[in-house]
């Protein structure tokens, strides 16, 4: 757990840009900052895969092989989103139970 609490060196210390967004932040801080973007991106990808699977389902023309592949795309997208949602929900639940702040 100590590894997550390590601070990143400032760019000024390693000879780079001084205004680096994640300078002097822990890895946990960086993950917390990026998580809303990851969840938003996963929702957009889910929406696009559902549209793609629905389009394949509509254009299958009654071909049972194409219908099966389209249904598999839709089910896979929903299962993937369910896994991401449950991971976020369980993390929120652990915050409440243990009284810690994982997401800021």
Q: What angle do CA 102, 21, 84 make, to 5 degrees?
A: 40
> Mean pLDDT across the stretch 23-32?
74
The pTM of the full predicted model, rounded to 2 decimals, is: 0.66
Give the pLDDT confidence of 33-56 residue by residue, as tens digits: 788 788 889 889 999 999 999 999
Closest by CA position to 34, among listed 26, 50, 44: 26
Q: Hey, where are the domains in the chain?
A: 21-96
């Amino acid at each position: 757990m100590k590894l997550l609490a390590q601070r990143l060196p400032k760019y000024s210390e390693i000879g780079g840009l001084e205004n680096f967004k994640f300078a002097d932040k822990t890895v946990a801080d960086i993950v917390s900052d990026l998580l809303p973007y990851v969840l938003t991106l996963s929702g957009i990808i889910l929406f696009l895969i559902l549209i793609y699977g629905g389009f394949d389902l509509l254009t299958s023309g009654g071909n049972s092989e194409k219908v099966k592949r389209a249904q598999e795309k839709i089910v896979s997208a929903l299962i993937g989103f369910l896994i991401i949602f449950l991971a976020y929900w369980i993390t929120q639940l652990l915050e409440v139970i243990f009284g810690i702040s994982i997401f800021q």
